[in-house]
Amino acid sequence: MLRKKQYHNLSGCIAGIYRHSRNNINRYIKSNGIRGTQNDLIIHLYDHPGLSQRQIARDLCVDPSLLARDLKALIEQGLVSREQNPSDRRVNMSSP
């Protein structure tokens, strides 16, 4: 079990690593014209391919109309694809 001082040291290291990686990601996505929410969407789709737009909006706690805008932009850039669900043609599924 970690002592209080060890916990704070470990917590500080993790926070530093997170900030450093987030800064690197933000620099990369800005240079490629991708907004932060679009980056989060790509990561989520990579981890969970084949989700419906409704499922993605619920998972990310994002307004469905804002999600639709971000999905459209990513599809236009060729970073995400959208396919019709074979069992329910009313539902479109997205994947990276």
Tens-place pLDDT, residues 49-89: 888 888 999 998 899 889 989 988 888 888 888 777 677 66
Which helix (H) or strand (E) element contains residue 10?
helix 4-31
Tens-place pLDDT, residues 8-29: 788 888 888 888 887 777 777 6
Residue 32, SS3? coil
For residue 40, what are its two tokens? 């989060």
Closest CA to 67 of 81, 54, 78: 54
Instruction: Kindly state the percentage of the chain with pLDDT values over 70.
Output: 83
Statement: residue 91 has pLDDT above 60: no
For residue 93, what are its two tokens? 């599924």
For residue 81, CA distances in Å to 7, 21, 77 come to: 43, 26, 10
pTM of the model: 0.60
